[in-house]
Amino acid sequence: MTRRTLIKSLGAGAALAGLGITAPREARAAVGAPAGTSQPFTLPPLGYDFAALEPAIDAQTMRIHHGKHHQGYINNANKALADYPQLQKFTAEQLLADLNAVPAVIRTAVRNNVGGHVNHSLFWRVLTPHTGGEPQGALANAIVREFRSFENFQSKFAAEAGNRFGSGWAWLSVKGGVVRVHSTANQDSPLSEGWTPILGLDVWEHAYYLHYQNRRADYARAFWSIVNWDEVAARFAAVG
């Protein structure tokens, strides 16, 4: 099958014409926040040294995770979309928010690799060597409203991180001002479920195994010492 007949048989152009219009408000709000999510996708800088998050996350893990794993998702995402110029005007977030409009032949590649790019772009930004301890203001209120206390929220988040079987992510996501704690498998994005992630923890073994081996719970506990709550609060405010 030639590329031309492939695209024709998929009817991709018609299906995607309205993608930008139908993308949920949450997804549009996220556009422009993470660097490099316009196409072609590029690796956003960490904004801190590889060793800056030690002892919570070791420098070697950060170097490989950012330079090899994240770059790999970017390379595969750009490759998957290379033959689909009609898809190249969309941001990563828009594609994830309307996966059913992506041609079936590349849908899994987009889901995994564009998902991997967006998830990691968020992850680097919500980490910091200068943690603020706990969220303040509107985000703190939304968390207490949903979970009764910050400690209950942390317990729920840790449970999602620990109970995710195999590879995936634990999330704090928002929709309509309401926050939710949940997890996704592999590189699936909350955006594909209509929720905007504002905090995420990568629980793939590549994220922690060099330092923690099988002790995922210890890694998830150390995460709280490097969360950038100012960034999470800004994302909460941006979604509205």
Task: Give the footprint of Mn ion on this chain (CB under 5 A).
Answer: 202, 204, 207
- Helix, strand, coil percentages (3-state) for the chain, rounded to 5, are 60, 10, 30
H-type helices in the chain, by residue range?
Answer: 3-10, 12-16, 19-22, 25-30, 59-64, 71-81, 92-97, 104-109, 115-125, 137-147, 150-163, 209-212, 216-223, 229-239
Burial of 210 (C-beta count, 10 Å sphere; 0-12/13-18/19+):
middle
Q: Closer to Mn ion at the Cβ: 152 or 167?
A: 167
Q: How far is the CB of 70 from Mn ion (least distance, A)?
A: 7
Q: Closer to Mn ion at the Cβ: 86 or 186?
A: 186
Q: How far is the CB of 187 from Mn ion (least distance, A)?
A: 8
Q: Closer to Mn ion at the Cβ: 160 or 202?
A: 202
Q: Closer to Mn ion at the Cβ: 93 or 202?
A: 202
Q: Closer to Mn ion at the Cβ: 124 or 204?
A: 204
Q: How far is the CB of 168 from Mn ion (least distance, A)?
A: 10
Six token digits for residue 156: 């729920």
Q: How far is the CB of 197 from Mn ion (least distance, A)?
A: 14
Distance CA(215)–CA(161), nearest Å, equals 12
The angle formed by the CA atoms of residues 220, 221 and 226, to the nearest 5 degrees, is: 90
Q: How far is the CB of 95 from Mn ion (least distance, A)?
A: 19
Tell me which residue has its CB nearest to Mn ion. Answer: 202
